């Protein structure tokens, strides 16, 4: 049933209640994204600062995924071009991989995977502040399609005149080249083999995954060597809104399937567009307000978890994966009962690093959304 798990019928009947096969796949892709955090070198004194600590041949095993069933073909870098961080350098944001022969037999198709981490660097935080909608400009035919400017900047900017890391170009250019190469190569060698393209990411990474899915489909790059369309599915974990209603509609027209795994207590999933969004559009129109509103794309797989001992876990990818594995659509194992905003604030005063990181991202997205809402 791999096509259903990849969203061929918009996950109808698989989400509520959560089907065990979809549960396992959502957890598996979440772990493949979590690997990005585990192998990222965040030591400022290291010569490999903000790069992957391991070689492509062993990176998934080194991340603890001994039997991941994928071979990494390329590392992907992004270089934000933002005034708040003019000296930003390229940082490793994820990888492209393809399923092994053994995993392909298990899955029922050759799976091309792109995995993205979330926000980590100062330049990426600064990009989150740029929450205004702007034309995507990824094709010349749909000027009404708009996306969050900060995510678009991360996706399209090479950051400097040299063209990014080693002249490889922007994050977008690296991705389009590599995904096209892998799809064409494997479909040419195995013309009778089914194939899928899966894009998975957490937080900022889920926004990049969604932009890539739209971009691939819009330009017809998700086609194999014989010209047949390869299905594209996005597995988003704790992802923010990415674009406007026209962006959502165009993704649907192109057949880009997005499963949003979202904790109902995670504020990042409610941003940007805290004021201007799909839920308030009708209300604002009644008051004579017009303009674009942020709109979520795809189908939501709603989770509900919170630990007062670690309020930052509401956005933590490990907590997301644990909740999915527990078939929760409820709470992660041993999660504390919700004690309200005051209790959460008191925990934050304790200065836990995970919480501080989460709320830093929330604040950046919220401030950018507020600026847009006020029309500055």
The tokens describing 124, both together, are 């990426």
Which residues face 111 on adjacent strands?
Answer: 196
Q: Of the ranges 63-77, 146-160, 184-198, which one carries the lowest mean pLDDT score?
A: 146-160
Q: Are 258 and 251 in contact (CB under 8 A)?
A: yes
Q: For residue 161, is pLDDT > 60?
A: no
Q: For residue 97, is pLDDT > 90?
A: yes
The candidate with the shortest Cα–Cα distance to 154, out of 91, 234, 238, is 91
Distance between alpha carbon 116 and the CA centroid of its chain, in Å?
6
Q: Which of 99, 170, 203, 323 is catalytic?
A: 203
pLDDT at 373: 43
CATH architecture type of domain 2-374: 3-Layer(aba) Sandwich (3.40)
Q: For residue 341, is pLDDT > 70?
A: no
Q: Which of 266, 292, 310, 316 is catalytic?
A: 266
- The pLDDT tens digits for 184-223 are 999 999 999 999 999 999 999 999 999 999 999 999 999 9
**316 vs 310: CA distance, rounded Å:** 10
pLDDT average, residue stretch 278-282 = 74
Which residues face 95 on adjacent strands?
Answer: 75, 115
Q: For residue 319, is pLDDT > 80?
A: yes
Q: Are 159 and 88 in contact (CB under 8 A)?
A: yes
Q: Are 93 and 178 in contact (CB under 8 A)?
A: no
pLDDT at 351: 39
pLDDT at 352: 42
pLDDT at 126: 77
Q: For residue 363, is pLDDT > 50?
A: yes
The tokens describing 321, both together, are 């994966």
- The pLDDT tens digits for 237-263 are 999 999 999 999 999 999 999 999 999
- How is the chain split into domains, by residue range? 2-374
Active site residue 203: yes
pLDDT at 307: 83
Q: Which of 90, 131, 315, 323 is catalytic?
A: 315
Compute φ and ψ for 362, nearest 5 degrees: -60, -45
Active site residue 315: yes
SS (H, E, C) the chain: CHHHHCCCCCCCCCCCCCCHHHHHHHHHHHHHHHHHHHCECCCCCCCCCCCECCCCCCHHHHCCCCCCCEEEEEEEEECCCCCCCCCCCCEEEEEEEEECHHHHHHHCCEEEEEEECCCCCHHHHHHHCCCCEEECCCCCCCCCCEEEHHHHHHHHCCCCCCCCHHHCCCHHHHHHHHHHHHHHHHHHHCCCCCEEEEEEEECHHHHHHHHHHHHHHHCCCCECCCCCECCEEEEEECCCCCEEHHHHHHHHHHCCEEEEEEECCCHHHHCCCCCCECCCHHHHHHCCCCCCCEECCCEEEEECCCCCCCHHHHHCHHHHHHHHHCCCCCCCCCCCCCCCHHHHHHHHHCCCHHHHHHHHHHHHHHHHHHHHHHCC
pLDDT average, residue stretch 324-335 = 57
Q: For residue 94, is pLDDT > 80?
A: yes
pLDDT average, residue stretch 350-359 = 48
Residue 129 confidence class, pLDDT cut points 50, 70, 90 = confident
**188 vs 197: CA distance, rounded Å:** 16
pLDDT at 343: 40
The percent of residues in the chain predicted with pLDDT above 90, rounded, is 67
Q: Of the ranges 5-9, 40-44, 78-82, 297-301, which one carries the lowest mean pLDDT score?
A: 78-82
* Average pLDDT of the residues of the chain: 85
The percent of residues in the chain predicted with pLDDT above 70, rounded, is 80
pLDDT average, residue stretch 359-367 = 55
Q: Are 265 and 305 in contact (CB under 8 A)?
A: yes
Q: Who has greater pLDDT, 369 or 178?
A: 178
pLDDT at 168: 80
What interhelical angle do 341-349 and 353-374 show, nearest 10?
120
């Amino acid at each position: 049933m791999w096509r259903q798990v990849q969203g061929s019928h918009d996950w109808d009947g698989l989400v509520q209640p959560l089907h065990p096969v979809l549960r396992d796949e959502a957890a598996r892709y979440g772990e493949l994204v979590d690997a990005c955090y585990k192998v990222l070198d965040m030591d400022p004194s290291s010569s490999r600062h903000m790069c992957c600590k391991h070689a492509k041949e062993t990176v998934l095993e080194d991340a603890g995924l001994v039997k991941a069933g994928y071979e990494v073909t390329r590392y992907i870098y992004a270089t934000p071009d933002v005034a708040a961080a003019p000296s930003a350098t390229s940082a490793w944001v994820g990888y492209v991989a393809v399923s092994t022969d053994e995993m392909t037999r298990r899955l029922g198709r050759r799976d091309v995977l792109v995995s993205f981490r979330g926000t980590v660097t100062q330049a990426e935080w600064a990009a989150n502040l740029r929450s205004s909608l702007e034309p995507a400009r990824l094709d010349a035919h749909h000027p009404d399609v708009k996306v969050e400017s900060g995510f678009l900047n991360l996706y399209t900017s090479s950051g400097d005149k040299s063209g990014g890391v080693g002249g490889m170009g922007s994050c977008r250019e690296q991705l389009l080249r590599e995904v096209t190469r892998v799809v064409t190569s494997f479909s040419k060698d195995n013309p009778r083999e089914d194939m899928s393209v899966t894009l998975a990411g957490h937080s900022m990474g889920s926004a990049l995954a969604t932009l890539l899915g739209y971009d691939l489909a819009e330009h017809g790059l998700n086609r194999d060597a014989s010209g047949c369309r390869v299905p594209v599915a996005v597995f988003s974990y704790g992802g923010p809104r990415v674009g406007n209603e026209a962006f959502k509609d165009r993704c649907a027209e192109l057949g880009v399937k997005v499963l949003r795994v979202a904790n109902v207590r995670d504020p990042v999933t409610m941003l940007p567009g805290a004021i201007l969004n799909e839920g308030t559009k009708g209300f604002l129109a009644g008051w004579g307000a017009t303009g674009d509103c942020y709109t979520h794309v795809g189908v939501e797989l709603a989770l509900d978890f919170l630990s007062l001992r670690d309020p930052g876990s509401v956005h933590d990818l490990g907590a997301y994966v644990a909740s999915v594995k527990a078939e929760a659509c409820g709470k992660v194992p041993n999660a504390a009962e919700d004690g309200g905003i005051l209790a959460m604030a008191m925990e934050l005063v304790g200065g836990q690093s995970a919480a501080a990181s989460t709320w830093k991202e929330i604040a950046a997205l919220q401030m950018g959304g507020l600026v847009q809402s006020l029309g500055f």
